[in-house]
Structure 1
């Protein structure tokens, strides 16, 4: 479903069975996938159900792991350069490949 969503095509077409038209099943799958994706936490990538033991989840299914990303480190350093008190609303730091 992730690929079908990314390319905006029906799941049946991705699987080689469809002719490109959206069937009722394709629409239902797309809506279910969208609902599933919206439940994922932006910070850690898990869903609430994964932690809820009453919903079959396991509070101890994950362990914390440290990961250092040089790109995120550079973004954080640049973010520190935005002056305090300046109107920083809407300021977003991103990475652009160097062209040389």
Structure 2
């Protein structure tokens, strides 16, 4: 469904079963996907019902695990070099492959 959403195509077309028109089932799947993705926490990527026993979840469904992304580490290090005040406003830091330098 994520691919269908990204490309704006009905699920039936993606599976090869449809002619490109949106069926009632395609629309229902698209709406269900939208509801599912909106229920995902932007901070941790889980959904509330995964944690709630009354909804079939478990209060201890996940354990925290620390990891380091070298890319995020490099961005954070570069961000530390951005001056405070007006000269640092609007500065965006991203990554590009070394071969593009």
Range of TM-score over shorter length: 0.7 to 0.9
| Distance in 1 of aligned mates of 2:92 and 2:51 | 32
Residue 26 of structure 2: aligned partner: 26
- TM-score scaled by length of structure 1: 0.86
Counterpart position of 1:81:
81
Q: 1:35 maps to what in 2?
A: 35
Stretch moving more, 89-98 or 2-11: 89-98
C-alpha distance in 1, partners of 2:90/2:42? Answer: 19
1:17 — aligned with what?
Answer: 17
CA RMSD after TM alignment: 1.8
Q: How far apart, CA to CA, are the structure 1 residues paired with 2:57 and 2:77?
A: 37
1:28-76 superposed Cα distances (whole Å, 9 cap, x missing partner): 1111101111111122110111111211110111111111110000111
Structure 1: 5+ residue runs without aligned partners? Answer: none
Flag structure 2 segments of 5+ consecutive residues without an equivalent. none
Hey, which bits of structure 1, 4+ residues long, moved more than 4 A? 87-90
Tell me the matched-pair count. Answer: 100
Q: Residue 62 of structure 1 aligns with which residue?
A: 62
- Which has the larger share of helix? 2
- CA distance change for structure 1 residues 61 and 73 in 2, over 3 Å: closer, same or farther? same
Shift of 1:97: 2.0
